[in-house]
Chain A
Amino acid sequence: MAVDSTDGTLFPPDSGAGPELIQLLTPEGERVEHPDYAVDLSDDEYLALYRDLVLVRRFDAEATALQRQGELGLWASLLGQEAAQIGSGRALRSNDYVFPTYREHGVAWCRGVDPLNLLGMFRGVNNGGWDPRENNFHLYTIVIGAQSLHGVGYAMGVQRDGTDTAVVTYFGDGASSQGDVNEAFTFAAVFNAPVVFFCQNNQWAISEPTERQMKVPLYRRAAGFGFPGVRVDGNDVLACLAVTRAALDRARRGEGPMLIEAFTYRMGAHTTSDDPTRYRLSAELEEWKLKDPIERLKAFLHKQGIGDPGFFADLEAESEELGKRVRNGVRTMPDPDPASMFANVYAEPHPLVERERAEFEAYHASFVDAGEDGH
């Protein structure tokens, strides 16, 4: 057993089941109260969250299938992490700003980013693909942890502007080992930046379990940097919503950063290129299936009698419709003009890029000419 370096006590394998876990909805769909965090939602709001969860899972499944069919080069599934993303995503106000990793499809959904835009990078038609300012949702970042610093810097900017914008920067359990993330904690703390660090601890960084990244529960790291950290049930959409709202409000009030560890599980492979059977046991997966984020909200809705059959039927139809739109959208997504690689390399004209573009175009035109001559 590892020694917990914060207080010298023994730190058993971290099941996440300790009293620190903030939960408002049990895996069985029972509402529970928490002394510090509460949500008071109308029936429609519960249903709206349910709709988000279902549609995002559907979108994700569709993308995985499209990768299998060769329409996408790669896909990083969010399966199992829907509640963490929808809960935190729905806590945001429109003027808040998000810095995602490559897996935040649910947050993107909440921000209003067209799901098809998310797929461009995975299909290989662009390296980003949207205007981050349109939905205050930054580009996906693949280099682990880099975006955490951008989030802090953005927060330092809005702090200077005196607006009530708050920032959320997402990252994973593996990312918490990176220098960038630890530097982001430091900067956020000393500048009291209005930023929320939202870490989805999905227990795995590709093949490495969390024990390879940390010897204390992740949320406790914040204390060493000088700001609060909490652990929330990442499969509980209500708790994720409540805790993120509170953290954002805190940031808005000028009380500085906060770390939220959403304790969840990566139900799928790391990406479609990965083979998790090489490194983890299916028993773990079976255990987490019982904590499914959608099933528990569904159970709650049924128990409370929220949502009539019409709602669920409509949602099913909407889900089908979304699937169809995504499939068609991807299949008809045009390849970029090859010469577009020379576009936007710099904001101002650059003679080398211009020269190479001209040479590139002349070279390709020579094939067209040769082809015409030859026939």
Chain B
Amino acid sequence: MAPAQSTGTTRQMSMVQALNTGLRRSLESDPKVLIMGEDIGKLGGVFRVTDGLQKDFGEDRVVDTPLAESGIVGTAIGLALAGYRPVVEIQFDGFVFPAYDQIVTQLAKMHARSLGYVRLPIVIRIPFGGGIGAVEHHSESPEAYFAHTAGLRVVSCSNPVDAYWMIQQAIASDDPVIFLEPKRRYWTKAEVDTAATPGPLYDSRVVRSGDACTVVAYGPMVATCLEAAAAAAEEGRELEVIDLRSVSPLDFDTIEKSVERTGHLVVVHEAPSFLGIGAEVAATITERCFYHLQAPVLRVGGYHTPYPPSRVEEEYLPDLDRVLDAVDRSLAW
């Protein structure tokens, strides 16, 4: 492996390293920050996101928990009530559900129920999405379940730079944040300038400008849409790609401004299209941009099926061709 490139405050990092470095910063800057989860200590997490943190910050701050997700989130709530800022790791997307009750009935609502007296600064990190050839329950995209619950914020990083900043911003937030990490992009690398000034956590970002069609994605699908945009550019069509970054709150303004220019919108995510984030984007943008739209908002997503076995997951996951097919259909409407 090539040594990490480093110039001044800029270093090349994989998304895993960026998250690890971001977590390290948060542990250093706030003694109330705790990390807890299964196998996050000596092992450093199954994806090594917490590698070395227990060694450097001790077992009291980087806590290997018993194997019980409801227990992890439930005790994180108690720790938060006692003044701590727990960062919880759920090992894989499919294993968050034993904690779903604590997240939805307790974590999401306690601030409101206490008339605002208590705050629950808890981050729940979840490696999510498919594309790594895993067995079942290791490839799911549960974001809509959480985004549908008031009281939870739901964000997803798509690249190492965002990963580095967003994890720190999520930890600094006084609200519970579901932090979705696109596991298939864990090993992509980028230059991360640790002295830069990050943008706001909940703003979307135009990651490629264009005028033919707006393409909205988040997490793992941003890279796919950028590939699609590069392919489209070769055919003389410039797609505007927006990385949502936050699913709740959802920054409609950035999408609206783009669609006012392009008149076309395609929303892409791995999660099933039916009642997914794309449906909400489509409905709201249709309301806001009705007279600018030259075609209905189209969605590219997973199907209304269980996540399929890995040998056929490429047929389930949106890819460059499916994104371009939707763009073509929109432009030809």
Contact = CB atoms under 8 A, between A and B. Distances in A.
A179 B68 contact: yes
A178 B98 contact: yes
Interface in B14-44: 38-39, 41-44
A200 to B, nearest CB: 14
Contacts of A208: 38-39, 64, 66-67
Contacts of A336: 308-309, 311-312
Given A207-B39, A208-B38, A174 B67 contact: yes
B137 interface: yes
A211 to B, nearest CB: 10
B67 A125 contact: no
A221 B98 CA distance: 22
A207 B42 CA distance: 7
B66 A341 contact: no
A122 B137 contact: no
B280 interface: no
A360 B38 contact: no
B306 interface: yes
Given A207-B39, A341-B315, A356-B304, A124 B309 contact: yes
Interface string A123-160: 11111000000000000001110000000000000000
B70 interface: yes
B128 interface: no
A273 interface: yes
Contacts of B296: none
Contact of B42 (A124, A174, A279, A345): A279
Interface string B291-324: 0000000000001111011111101100000100
Q: Tell me the dominant secondary structure on chain B's binding face.
A: loop
Contacts of A73: 133-135, 310
A174 B312 CA distance: 31
The number of chain B residues touching the other chain, given as a range, is 35 or more
B309 A143 contact: no
B131 interface: no
Interface in B33-64: 38-39, 41-44, 46, 64
A341 B189 CA distance: 33
B84 interface: no
B71 interface: yes
Contacts of B95: 143-144
A273 B303 contact: no
Interface in A150-206: 174-175, 177-180, 205-206
B131 to A, nearest CB: 12
A177 B315 contact: no
A294 B218 CA distance: 52
Contact of B64 (A125, A180, A212, A338): A212
B67 A123 contact: no
Nearest to A178: B68
Interface in B97-144: 97-98, 133-137
A270 B316 CA distance: 29
A322 interface: no
Interface of A: 73-74, 120-127, 142-144, 174-175, 177-180, 205-208, 212-213, 273-274, 278-279, 335-336, 338, 340-342, 345, 350, 352-353, 356, 360, 363-364
Interface of B: 38-39, 41-44, 46, 64-68, 70-71, 94-95, 97-98, 133-137, 274, 303-306, 308-313, 315-316, 322, 325
Given A142-B135, A208-B39, A353-B305, 12 more contacts: A73-B310, A142-B136, A175-B67, A178-B67, A205-B38, A335-B311, A338-B308, A338-B315, A341-B303, A345-B306, A353-B304, A364-B315
In the complex, the 10 A-B pairs of residues with the closest C-beta atoms, listed nearest first: A124-B310, A207-B43, A177-B66, A338-B315, A341-B308, A174-B67, A279-B42, A124-B311, A177-B68, A127-B136
